[in-house]
């Protein structure tokens, strides 16, 4: 189904399905896998060790739900039509929604910044949190970043 950004906040997010599947090949440059989360009671797919760390951190903070690759965002920019699939949409135990893109800084290319900016605008329009700094994690762990940015309970 397709929704304009202005209507995404009213979409039943728990009914969404993962946009694409996770692949595993010997020649891949990343490490996909499955992470069991106590807070959701099931396995969640990840495509990198950084994404796995984020899932561990979210589980530690008692997330209510995590949706991998929750939607396909189409947008226009000065370079023309583009698209992006965010990594995770997390529903916190207090009902807040957090949208995440997780990418080590060394892997961020020029076009990625445009995609992350469009994702940030979309999240803001929906009233979701989008911690853009998580896209630039390289030396610090996801857990320490989340603690410092106030994702812990009650923040």
Contact (CB, 8 A) for 62 and 153 = yes
The helices-and-strands tally (H runs, E runs) of the chain is 4, 7
Is residue 13 one of the residues assigned to a domain? Answer: no
Is residue 1 one of the residues assigned to a domain? Answer: no
Res 38: pLDDT:
95
- Specify the number of domains making up the chain: 1
Tell me the mean pLDDT per 10 residues along the chain, length 155. 67 64 65 90 90 91 90 86 92 91 82 89 91 50 55 48
Q: Which domain holds residue 94?
A: 30-144
**CATH number for the domain that contains residue 50:** 3.40.1350.10
Res 137: pLDDT:
41
Cα-based angle 51, 147, 138 (whole degrees, multiple of 5): 45
Is residue 3 one of the residues assigned to a domain? Answer: no
């Amino acid at each position: 189904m397709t929704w304009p950004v202005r209507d995404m906040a009213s979409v039943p997010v728990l009914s969404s399905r993962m946009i694409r599947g996770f692949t595993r090949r010997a020649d891949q440059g990343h490490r996909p896998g499955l992470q069991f989360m106590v807070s959701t009671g099931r396995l969640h797919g990840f495509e990198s060790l950084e994404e796995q760390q984020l899932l561990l951190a979210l589980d530690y903070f008692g997330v209510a739900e995590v949706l991998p690759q929750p939607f396909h965002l189409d947008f226009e920019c000065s370079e023309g039509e583009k698209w992006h699939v965010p990594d995770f949409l997390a529903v916190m135990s207090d009902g807040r929604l957090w949208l995440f893109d997780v990418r080590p800084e060394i892997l961020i290319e020029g076009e990625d910044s445009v995609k992350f900016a469009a994702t940030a605008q979309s999240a803001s329009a929906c009233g979701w949190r989008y911690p853009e700094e998580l896209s630039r994690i390289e030396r610090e762990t996801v857990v320490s970043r989340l603690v410092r940015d106030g994702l812990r309970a009650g923040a």
